[in-house]
Chain A
Amino acid sequence: MNTNDQIREAFAELAARAPVPDRVAAGIAGRSRAIRQRRLLLGAGGAVAAAAALGVPALFLWPGTPSTVDELLSPVRWRGYPMPFTPSWLPDGFNITQRRVTTGRPGPQRREWHLNPLHLHPRVQLELKLGGPSPWPSASTVDINGTPGWVSHSKYSASCSWQPFEGIEMRVSVAGEPDEPDTDRGAQFAETVVRIARSTGVGHVEYLRPTMSFGWLPGQVPLRLAFERHDRPDGSGEMASAFISGESRRVIFAGVFDRLDDSIRLEEAQKTTLRGRPAWYVPPDPQTETQGPGTFVVELADGRWLFAATDPAEGGPVVTKDDLSRIVETCRLD
């Protein structure tokens, strides 16, 4: 058999692995709707168009309708982790600054948008949590696309939670400048969070593909792993984080960023070599840090900076300087 015949046979074999037509056909109508919606958003005037252009990520739709939390949150091989219930409306001018997904198994997710990424406020935050709804006692009820929701507000913030899917609670919150004197924008913010919540849908998905992950971690306690993407003018990059399982406390983290955080002062650090690259060990500052082992920083060949540090917590793992060095050496980068 010559190469040409072998190639024909190989292609025939590959064609036999084609996806099932029924499943593909089932997803086409949904995608058409999404494409129509994208066109409408881009074509519309005012706040919706601005939101679509500036802050709201492109939407995708599933091939089918997920029926379990596992199906809803499991990664798609080449796209990454789905982040469902993406809003198709945000107030004017908000840009996405952070996305976080739990990796390895279904878990919490978080996204943040800022009007000015260099300022903490105003901020829109969208969280996905596993479990049933947990509204504030003082919250009032609203309808979110046929599902009960709960909205509450203070002078400078508002939040709305609802259960759009069995086993999932979504919460969107808006926070303004807390130091604005004599203002009460709570009612306005409450309208905003409800509008954002109503603009989400189960099929409104964006994907986050982890581009870095831990290779080795100390194994004393179970940890929940997460991947984050940060998009900020003062430094964009990716982070792998380990949380105390079931808690929101990040205890170990490693990141690759295009800029080094201003707070890390290499001139006072000890020079070393990690991953075959110039590296620095920044000892813990007794004035500002707890009992952590400090920070390691590596200058990568592509000009980015890899760093790793810990945030010790009660019940969390004890991480030594050697452990942290091993974490840096074994981090997997795409």
Chain B
Amino acid sequence: MPRGKHSSDVTFDEYLSHRLAALLRYATVVTCDPHLAEDVVQEVLARAQLRWQKISRLDMPEAYLKRMVLNEFLSWRRRRSAMHVPLAREPDAPDPAEAISSRDALLRQIAMLPPQQRAVLALGFYEGMTDAEIATFLDCSESTVRSHRSRALSTLRMVQEVGR
């Protein structure tokens, strides 16, 4: 958000110029797929543009947009249950270090988690939200958030132990 401006004063173009990159990073983390992230963000912002006056008057328009991104992604998952989740780097960009390979391996495991579990991890570990904030965001209880995270972490640890 540009400094010194209330959100309702911010035009859609101003919002894009300041926050689009962050929204794309968020969408990439949530979807685990930069191509899908691009499409989801574009679709969400195209819809948001048509009612920007209302959205910009919200207390936290960015939170609203992030929720739209998550909902759009989850609806994509519902529409395409066997969606391919490409995470490998492009062929012309080889991994510079072994550490990146292991991160990619971890990301592949994260990408295979059920979408709700993955969303809980992304919101907590990337967005830094508390359980209460995640629960509000996902419209579920805090215990459900804890349950999703616990299952996700347990899966990831199990996979890592098997891989050692």
Contacts and interface: CB of A to CB of B under 8 A. Distances in A.
A77 B42 CA distance: 16
Contacts of A31: 42-43, 45-46
A10 B41 contact: no
A259 to B, nearest CB: 23
A34 B49 CA distance: 12
A206 B35 CA distance: 17
B86 A77 contact: yes
Residues of A contacting B: mostly: helix
Interface of B is mostly: helix
A16 B29 CA distance: 9
Most chain B CB atoms below 10 A, which of A24, A31, A34: A24
A25 B20 contact: yes
B37 interface: yes
A17 interface: yes
B151 interface: no
Contacts of B32: 14
Contact of B28 (A8, A10, A17): A17
A6 B106 contact: yes
Given A18-B28, A19-B24, A28 B125 contact: no
A314 interface: no
Interface string A1-19: 0011011111111111111
B110 interface: yes
Contacts of A77: 35, 84, 86
Interface of A: 3-4, 6-19, 21, 23-25, 27-29, 31-32, 34-36, 63, 76-79, 334
Interface of B: 16, 20-21, 24-29, 32-39, 41-43, 45-47, 49-50, 80, 82-84, 86-87, 89, 100, 103-104, 106-107, 110, 121-122, 125-126, 153, 156-157, 160
